[in-house]
Structures are given as structure tokens and as C-alpha cells.
Amino acid sequence: MQYKGTANFRHDHPEKIGVLVTNLGTPDAPTSSALRRYLGEFLWDPRVVEVPRPLWWLILHGIILRIRPSRSAKAYASVWQPEGSPLLTHTASQAEGIRKRLQAKYGNNIVVGFAMRYGNPSVSKVLDEMQAQGVRQLLVLPLYPQYSASTSASTFDAIAHDFTRRRWIPDLRFVSHYPDYPPYIEAMANHIQAHWNEHGRNEKLVLSYHGVPLKYLKKGDPYHCECHKTSRLLAEQLGLAKEEYMTTFQSRFGREEWLQPYTDETLKSLPAKGVKSIDVFCPGFSSDCLETVEEIDEENREYFMEAGGEGFSYIPALNATPGHISALTQLIEDNLQGWTVPTNEPEELAARFRLAEDQKQAQYPGRDL
């Protein structure tokens, strides 16, 4: 273990470690007005839509925000739960699961919260609460396993922007991706295998990821490669041959070309190629949300069955399953290495103090530091 100076050892200065789990965000309600607010914030982010601002302002306000909110509100209404949007409720349960695991081990000196990049609860509100609780070291974990500027970097922008209004910013660590993290790969493989054991296995496993415009890949975004890496490792873990799985990209927006092959076109074409039954899993979505429940399990299921498919099984996201919570907790603990969890236990304080003194004496013999 390493120690960062003596501040952690002081009784009178209760510093804490904060773990902030984030996800994309979702509207507050499945209504046109809530969607206009949510989409207005989301689609104005230059990390998401890389079109020159004046032109994009005209398109966004002149066309998109007049048409899309009511259309999207209907889609959201079809997945809305009594407790709210699936993305929000799953993310809240994930943070709760992580909090229980970490606090069982480290006590209340670790504070766990969750925030949304767009909408509520906002990054700034949750960071205010963490600051009020004495968080001086902050680990941010966006629940995006594959890095993309439109998601991971955009979350970093939100944190950095929040810090511009703080006098005393905390130490910061940011998990920008984890596409090949073995506990994440194993959690998915176990989850898929458990689904197969219970429901049987179809002919092919389709791994569908959210798409991004093709030009982001050409500009150097590693997202496309990271998706393929996750698929390869997951297939290896499941012992699948190349022809037993494929990687596709869903959720296109606008008219330009996005990453291919497209999930919808692929599913429409598979039955004619002799693939009559498929399982679909979305490794990039930590939580079920509009894009999985409505777009995959409703819309794309229909495309496949109407094209002559005979069996379609959507495998739910990892959500707050114990395997996912363990993998995420492990990822957090790996990234907290070297940050001493503060403690007010007198014996632990004394032990740390003695160890720090011994280390100083070994490094600078005879000096009073």
C-alpha cells in the first residue's frame, strides 16, 4: 500500500473517497416537452454531433426539435416503468449494489453516487453532495465499456466543466474505458451461458453495439475497434467459432453513413441466408434502456420475424446482476489502487502512522520530517 502524505491520518479532517458512476441520461418523463429538453441538451453537445455550430443550431431547432420529441416520447412511453425510465432505475440499482459492496469492505469513508451526463440527477448536483460529505478524492466511472468521444470524452467534459466553478477541486481519476477487462468479459459470458441454459441456444449470437458516424472512426475514434475487441474476447470466453457470432451497429441518427454492418439491415437479411434463429445481446449497454428494450426487443425482433425468422431471443443487459456488480466493484477497486481509504478507527490510524513514520525513517534516516 502507498500513502499520500499525512492528511488522511488526521481525525479533524474527515476526507472521503468518492465514486461517481455515470450513464448517458434519459428524459424526466415520456412526454414531448421532457424530450425536447433532454434532446436539446444531448444533441447540442459538440462531442455527439460534430457539425459546425451555426448550421447545426438551425437544423436542431428548425427541424429536429420540432419533429423528434413527440416521436421519441411515444417510444419512451412503451418502455416506461412505474418507477421511471429503465436506464435511470438500472443505473440507480447498480450504484446501490456497488455502494453495498464497497461500504461493507471500507465503511462510510467511501461515498458512492450516480449521475447522468444529460438530464437528472446532474453531475453538478451529485458532485455538490459529495463535496458536502467531504470527498477529496474522486473516481469517475462512466458505464461505457468501449471508449468513444461522444460518450466517454463527453462525460469527462462535464466533470471538467463542473470543476471550473469549484475553488478546491478533488484529486481525480477517470475510467475512460474497459472493453477488455477480464471480469467484465467473464460476467457477460456467464450471463449469456446462463440464458442459454435456461432458454436454449439459437443458431447465431448477434452482438449489437450503439453506432456512431463512420467519420468518427476515420478521425481516429477507437470505438469501432474496441467493440470488435470486446466481441472477440467474449466469443473466446464462450468458446464460439467465427461463424457462430457477429458484430453489428444499431441506433443510426441522420442521413450520413454510420458504422456498418447495421443491426436492422443485418437482421432483415439473415433469414434469406439460412439463419432462422438468433440470440441478440448488446455488450456496450450496461443497462437496458430505450435502445435495447424498444429498438432491439421490439423493432428489430419484428424485422427479423417478418423477414422469415423463426426464433428470436433478446438477452437482457447485465444491469444490476450480481456478476456485473462484482465486475464493476473490482474495476473500481483496481482504479483506487494507491488511494488510502480514510479511516477514523484509532487502531488503524495508529498503524498507518507508524508505517508512514517507518517509511520516512527508512528513506531519510535520522531526520525529523
Ligand X SMILES: C=CC1=C(C)c2cc3[nH]c(cc4nc(cc5[nH]c(cc1n2)c(C)c5CCC(=O)O)C(CCC(=O)O)=C4C)c(C)c3C=C
Binding region: 210, 291
Distance in angstroms (rounded) separating the CA atoms of residues 69 and 277:
34
Binding-residue pattern over the window 194 to 213 for ligand X, x denoting contact by CB under 6 A: ----------------x-x-
Cis status, amide bond into 121, omega within 30 of 0: yes
If one asks whether residue 288 binds Fe ion (CB under 5 A), the answer comes out as no
- Judged by CB, which is closer to ligand X: 16, or 301? 301
Distance in angstroms (rounded) separating the CA atoms of residues 279 and 207:
9
Distance in angstroms (rounded) separating the CA atoms of residues 345 and 106:
11
If one asks whether residue 22 binds Fe ion (CB under 5 A), the answer comes out as no
If one asks whether residue 251 binds Fe ion (CB under 5 A), the answer comes out as yes
If one asks whether residue 297 binds Fe ion (CB under 5 A), the answer comes out as no
Task: Strands of 15-126 (E only): list them.
Answer: 16-23, 110-116
Please identify, among the stretches 36-44, 244-252, 268-276, 344-352, the one whose residues bind Fe ion according to the rule CB under 5 A. Answer: 244-252
Least distance from C-beta 317 to Fe ion, angstroms? 15
Least distance from C-beta 169 to ligand X, angstroms? 27
If one asks whether residue 115 binds ligand X (CB under 6 A), the answer comes out as no
What backbone phi and psi angles, to 5 degrees, belong to 359? -65, -40
User: Angle CA(221)–CA(222)–CA(225) in degrees, nearest 5?
Assistant: 135
If one asks whether residue 72 binds ligand X (CB under 6 A), the answer comes out as yes
Is 352 in a helix, a strand, or coil? helix
Cell numbers placing 344: 477514523
If one asks whether residue 178 binds ligand X (CB under 6 A), the answer comes out as no
The answer to whether the beta carbons of residues 217 and 209 sit under 8 Å apart is no
The answer to whether the beta carbons of residues 307 and 270 sit under 8 Å apart is yes
Cell numbers placing 211: 453506432
If one asks whether residue 284 binds ligand X (CB under 6 A), the answer comes out as yes
Strands 204-210 and 245-250: parallel
If one asks whether residue 295 binds Fe ion (CB under 5 A), the answer comes out as yes
If one asks whether residue 144 binds ligand X (CB under 6 A), the answer comes out as yes
Binding-residue pattern over the window 213 to 252 for ligand X, x denoting contact by CB under 6 A: ----------x---------------------------x-
Question: Which residues inside 6-25 make contact with ligand X, applying CB under 6 A?
Answer: 24
Task: Strands of 64-203 (E only): list them.
Answer: 110-116, 135-142, 171-174
Query: How many other CB atoms are found less than 10 A from the CB of residue 138?
Result: 23
Which of 17, 19, 34, 49 touches ligand X (CB under 6 A)?
A: 49
If one asks whether residue 290 binds ligand X (CB under 6 A), the answer comes out as yes
If one asks whether residue 150 binds ligand X (CB under 6 A), the answer comes out as yes
Q: Which does 264 bind (CB under 5 to 8 A by kind): ligand X, Fe ion, none?
A: none
Distance in angstroms (rounded) separating the CA atoms of residues 46 and 222:
18
Binding residues for ligand X, rule: CB under 6 A, are 24, 26, 43, 48-49, 68, 72, 85, 87, 144, 148, 150-151, 210, 212, 223, 251, 253, 284-285, 289-291
Residues near Fe ion, by CB under 5 A: 251, 291, 295
